[in-house]
Amino acid sequence: MRKVDKLGRIVIPLELREKHGLCEGVTVEFFDTGDGITVKCADTYCKICHKKISGDSDFPLCDECIARAVTEYGIEKG
């Protein structure tokens, strides 16, 4: 369990930060779910190398990792 400080800050447990890619500098969004709060990463990051990428989140890989996947594993985008 964590305590909220007087500025409203809490520390997100390390294991949750690592699992959800919440490294330093990441932008997060808060969603009121009625019975609690959901915190989600607002930026899109490559699932392999964690580089910040732009565009849709349906295929969250950077161009370099896509190219590597295609050449090394024969995976096609789409």
| Residues between 36 and 65 with contacts to Zn ion, criterion CB under 5 A | 46, 48-49, 62, 65
Q: Is 41 helix (H, G, I), strand (E, B) or coil?
A: strand
Summarize the chain as % helix, strand, coil (round to 5).
Answer: 25, 20, 60
Q: Of 41 and 46, which CB lies nearer to Zn ion in the complex structure?
A: 46
Angstrom distance (rounded) from CA 5 to CA 51? 31
Closest separation in Å from C-beta 67 to Zn ion: 10
Closest separation in Å from C-beta 35 to Zn ion: 36
Interface residues with Zn ion (CB under 5 A) are: 46, 48-49, 62, 65
